[in-house]
Amino acid sequence: MTLRFKKLHPTFMAEVSPVDLRTVHDEPTLAALRAAMTEFGVLVFHDQHFSYDDQIEFAQRMDGALHSKTSSSVLSKNRFGNEALTDISNVGQDGNILEAADRRRMNGISNRIWHTDASFEDPSGRYSMLYARNIPPVRADTEFADMRAAYEALDTDTKKAIEDLHVYHSIVYSRHTMGFDFSAEESAKLPGATHPLVRQIEGSNRKALYLASHAAHVTEWPVPEGRLLLKDLIEHATRREFLNSHEWSLGDLVIWDNRTTMHRARPFDDKAYKRELTRVTTLDLPRATSQP
């Protein structure tokens, strides 16, 4: 299959066509998509027609094992019956818009701060694949930041200072900064994880900053000093030249590499309009020689 890639930003993101991802089973095409992820970090596919099973099965073909220990999984039962299919929506089990004070909504709107999916787990998330099943009649974009370009724009002294640092990531921490708190029982299911602040991505000679709202503190530095460093780095990484947004259409699938990008949901009137997307995130594990 011959794929076309249209670059959407000077440093990252590309639109892919023509392809129906439900039909992609051959290893050469899957390998071409993985290579494009290494190059662009974010891929956009229009006019996809995924059932729930289709989305899960494509993610497994593309990248293997799936992440299922999400923050939403500790709050309520997954309405799709599979915790690997994350419900990124503002509706409940009955299909109605969640009440303003609903804990599921309050947890969900925290996605409007910069984050990387599953950085609070070990192994962390590699690819996230977000599919638009029902979109509002107003813009509700997802914005991305290129963390490779952000790293490369740092001065030499800063690169040297942060090269060997590690960061503890905790979704309990990031939600607390938004005024949302998990119970002690819920928090115990989300213990957090430590990862390098600078990551070398296999298949590429480039490095990327690995941080976001879940980044609680630098393990080698005093907490206040480390948090100031992380705050400064996020401010640097979200300068306009490193950012690009995706405006959703029904049937869009967007795949991003959590190791090389941050992202956030942009606000819309979620108390008036339904927005239903499903996300599958793969784990950053060594790939088999041949994907299933």
At 48-101, the pLDDT tens digits run 999 999 999 999 999 999 999 888 888 988 999 899 999 999 999 999 999 999
Mean pLDDT, range 1-17, rounded to an integer:
96
What is residue 289's predicted lDDT score, i.e. its pLDDT? 54
Handedness of CA 133, 136, 139, 144 (dihedral sign): negative
- Cα 23 from Cα 19, distance rounded (Å): 8
Indicate whether 169 belongs to any domain: yes
- Cα 15 from Cα 42, distance rounded (Å): 9
Indicate whether 290 belongs to any domain: no
Mean pLDDT, range 37-45, rounded to an integer:
98
Indicate whether 288 belongs to any domain: no
Indicate whether 91 belongs to any domain: yes
Q: Which of 290, 246, 248 is nearest to 41 (CA)?
A: 246
Indicate whether 291 belongs to any domain: no
Indicate whether 74 belongs to any domain: yes
- Which domain CATH number covers 73? 3.60.130.10
Mean pLDDT, range 116-131, rounded to an integer:
97
Q: Give the tens place of pLDDT for each residue, 129-163.
A: 999 999 999 999 999 999 999 999 999 999 999 99
- Total tally of structural domains belonging to the chain: 1
Contact predicate 85/278, CB 8 Å: yes
Mean pLDDT, range 222-238, rounded to an integer:
98
Mean pLDDT, range 262-275, rounded to an integer:
97
State pTM to two decimals.
Answer: 0.96
Indicate whether 78 belongs to any domain: yes
DSSP notation for 56-89: HHHHHHHH--B----TGGGTS--TTS-TTSEEEE
User: Is residue 292 predicted with pLDDT exceeding 80?
Assistant: no
Contact predicate 263/119, CB 8 Å: no
Q: Give bridge partners of residue 169 from the DSSP assignment.
A: 193, 215
User: What residue numbers bound the domain in which 162 lies?
Assistant: 4-283
Q: Which of 114, 251, 263 is nearest to 177 (CA)?
A: 114
- Cα 59 from Cα 160, distance rounded (Å): 36
What is residue 216's predicted lDDT score, i.e. its pLDDT? 97
Mean pLDDT, range 96-110, rounded to an integer:
95
Indicate whether 155 belongs to any domain: yes
92 Cβ contact partners less than 8 Å away, ≥ 6 residues apart: 79, 98, 102, 104
Q: Which of 285, 270, 249 is nearest to 110 (CA)?
A: 270
